[in-house]
Amino acid sequence: MTADTPFIKLDRVSLTYQSRDSSTHALDETDMTISTGEFIAVVGPSGCGKSSLLKLVSGLHPATSGNVVVAGQKVTGPLKISGMAFQNATLLPWRTTLDNVLLPLQIVEPHASRFRKHRDQYEAMAMELLKLVGLDGFETKYPWELSGGMQQRSSLCRALIHEPQMLLLDEPFGALDAFTREELWGVLQKLWMTRKPTVILVTHDLREAVYLSDTVYVMSARPGRIISKTNVALPRPRTLRDTFKPEFIEMAQNLRLQISEGMGV
């Protein structure tokens, strides 16, 4: 399913946040190897440094020690090859859905300098993505006219519009109700299967992790450390009905136990 060359490699990476009068040891000696086009999920207790991992890989925050290598290069600053989405959709309320999706193209090169001339072409790209997530017909709506689930769909489109090689998701469905969340798993799976970016998904929801990913990493409580790696060999595309199958449930249950152990409960 995945290519052999590692796309992301973390080598004994540690991260300590230093503030005025305290320091927080967020990540400790973490090793990770992620192949090109792989979908991985990171689960673990609250505040275990899962989100810090994303900051390191995206180059938004430098590691305190150790090496982060993405696409064969050591990460020293923002990479411009990643798309990000968060629990909060963070759409710009003064832009329509279409314009929100187009935002990265106005910033990232080489698109930014070509944007004005080739706007039609870019809009067609965006429309294609919106159609893929089921938002065609909503492109002229403003974010506040959309439901939470729709906002999250547009946020995913915005993260993917510049065709990033890497998609970083920080609990993207955490604020949605159960039904919408499960529906969006299907949407994300479809997006991934058509575009094949390398995905790191940070989540609380073990069923979500198993449903979506090729590999699930479990992190321990702070300071975060990878304590287990589980391959999910279920065939794709996966459906909600699969989540009631015994092997699925068993996998989720095992992860739950590992997390409890990692918390020292």
Residues whose CB is less than 8 angstroms from the CB of residue 32 and which lie 6 or more positions away in sequence, other chains included: 8, 9, 10, 217, 226
Residue 117 in the binding site for another protein (CB under 8 A): no
Number of residues engaging another protein in binding (CB under 8 A):
55
| CA–CA distance, 132 with 63 (Å, rounded to integer) | 36
Residue 265 in the binding site for another protein (CB under 8 A): yes
| CA–CA distance, 199 with 63 (Å, rounded to integer) | 20
Token digits of residue 114 = 């070509």
Task: Return the residue of 178, 233, 235, 264 that touches another protein, per CB under 8 A.
Answer: 178
Strands 39-43 and 198-203, sheet pairing: parallel
Task: Return the residue of 50, 55, 222, 225 that touches another protein, per CB under 8 A.
Answer: 55
Query: DSSP letters along 101-144, please?
Result: HHGGGGTSTTHHHHTTTTHHHHHHHHHHHHHHTT-TT-TTS-GG
Task: Return the residue of 72, 93, 110, 235 that touches another protein, per CB under 8 A.
Answer: 93
Token digits of residue 135 = 């938002």
Residue 18 in the binding site for another protein (CB under 8 A): no
Where does this chain touch another protein (CB under 8 A) — which range of 10-18, 29-37, 116-124, 155-163? 155-163
Residue 46 in the binding site for another protein (CB under 8 A): yes
Binding stretches for another protein (CB under 8 A): 45-46, 55, 58-60, 78-80, 82-84, 86, 88, 90, 92-94, 103-104, 106-109, 142, 144, 147, 149-150, 158-159, 162, 168, 170, 174, 177-180, 183, 204-206, 240-241, 244-246, 249-250, 252-253, 256, 259, 265
